[in-house]
Amino acid sequence: MDLENQKRVKEFAEQYGPENVVVLLGAAEGEASGLAAETVTNGDPTYAGPLTGVQLGLKVYHVCEPEVKEEFDAGIYDEQVSMMEMVLDVDDIVNEMTSIREQYCKY
């Protein structure tokens, strides 16, 4: 997660309260999704950005996770995501995201 997005997430958590913020990711790999998820839950593991040492514990999901997917209009999901979903290792992404949530999410 780049430094500008870290800053935005931190500002939203401060403005709205971390219990009211959900981060939705769309990275193409489980490892990249996990790194971004860890950043918004447990702090920036690279020690480079505004979330270094900041444990927000935010709810975080990937757009391809079943519980998120069912929240979208099916036609819009098909148009915007399903083509990419066919080439992703969705199981790997789901496992990575579930692990991060179990370890670090507070809300």
CA neighbor of 92 nearest in space, from 43, 40, 39, 32: 32
Q: What is the mean pLDDT of the chain?
A: 97
Summarised one tens digit per residue, pLDDT across range 73-95 is 999 999 999 999 999 999 999 99
pLDDT at position 78: 96
Which residues in the chain come in under a pLDDT of 70? none
pLDDT at position 37: 98
pLDDT at position 89: 97
pLDDT at position 66: 96
pLDDT at position 72: 96
pLDDT at position 54: 97
CB 100 within 8 A of CB 37: yes
